[in-house]
Amino acid sequence: MVSADGRVVMVFNGEIYNFRELRAHLEAAGDVFSSQSDSEVLLALFCRYGIECLNRLNGIFAVVFWERDTNTLWVARDQLGVKPLYIHSGDGCFAFSSEMKGLIRSGFGTTEIDPRAVLAHLGFLWSPGEKTIVRDIKKVLPGQALCVRNGRIEKSWFYYELPIAEKQLAKKVDDVAIEVASAVRTAVKRQLVSDVPLGSFLSGGLDSSAIVAFAAQEMQNKGRLQCFSIRIDNGATSNEGFADDLPYAQKVAKHLDVDLHVVGVGDEMMDRLPEMVYLLDEPTPDPAALNALFISELASQNGIKVLLSGAGGDDIFTGYRRHFALAQERWWGGLPKPLRSVLANTSNLLPASSPLSRRLGKAFRYADLPTDDRLISYFLWLEPKQAYSLLAPDLRRQLAADDLFAPMRETLSRLPSDVTPLDKMLTLECKHFLTDHNLNYTDKMGMAAGVEVRVPLLDLDLVRLAGSLPSEIKQKGREGKWIFKKAMEPYLPHDIIYRPKTGFGVPLRNWLQGRLKPLVDEVLSPASLLQRGIFDPQAVARLIEADRSGRIDAAYTLFGIVCMELWCKQYLDGNFALDR
Specify binding-site residues for L-glutamine: 38
In angstroms, rounded to a whole number, what is the distance separating the alpha carbons of residues 280 and 447?
Answer: 11
Residue 479: closest CA among 245, 246, 206, 239:
206
Q: What is the DSSP string of 196-226?
A: S-EEEE--SSHHHHHHHHHHHHHTGGG-PPE
Alpha-carbon 52 to chain mean position: 27
Terminal alpha carbon distance of the chain: 24
Residue 304: closest CA among 401, 500, 446, 180:
446
In angstroms, rounded to a whole number, what is the distance separating the alpha carbons of residues 363 and 382?
Answer: 13
Going by the annotation, the residues of the binding site are: 38, 230, 309-310
Q: What is the DSSP string of 527-567?
A: HHHHHH-SB-HHHHHHHHHHHHTTSS--HHHHHHHHHHHHH
Helix axes 246-256, 206-218, angle to 10 degrees: 20
Helix axes 421-428, 406-413, angle to 10 degrees: 130
Q: How is the beta sheet containing 72-77 ordered, strand by strand?
A: 8-16, 59-67, 72-77, 144-149, 152-158
Q: What is the DSSP string of 311-362?
A: TTHHHHH--SHHHHHHHTHHHHTTS-HHHHHHHHHHHTTS-SSSHHHHHHHH
Interior angle at CA 368, CA 363 and CA 373, nearest 5: 80
Residue 154: phi, psi to the nearest 5? -85, -30
Going by the annotation, the residues of the binding site for ATP are: 230, 309-310
In angstroms, rounded to a whole number, what is the distance separating the alpha carbons of residues 407 and 386?
Answer: 19
* Diameter of the chain measured on Cα atoms: 73
Residue 54: closest CA among 143, 141, 139:
143
Helix (H) or strand (E) holding 246: helix 246-256
In angstroms, rounded to a whole number, what is the distance separating the alpha carbons of residues 229 and 298?
Answer: 9
Q: What is the DSSP string of 155-198?
A: EEEES-----------S-HHHHHHHHHHHHHHHHHHHT--SS-E
In angstroms, rounded to a whole number, what is the distance separating the alpha carbons of residues 253 and 232?
Answer: 19
Spell out the residues 6+ positions from residue 540 whose beta carbon is closer than 8 angstroms to its own.
Answer: 390, 524, 526, 529, 561
Burial per residue of 53-91, b for 16 or more beta-carbon CB atoms within 10 angstroms, e otherwise: bbeebbbbbbbbbbbeeeebbbbbbbbbbbbbbbbbbee
SS3 45: helix
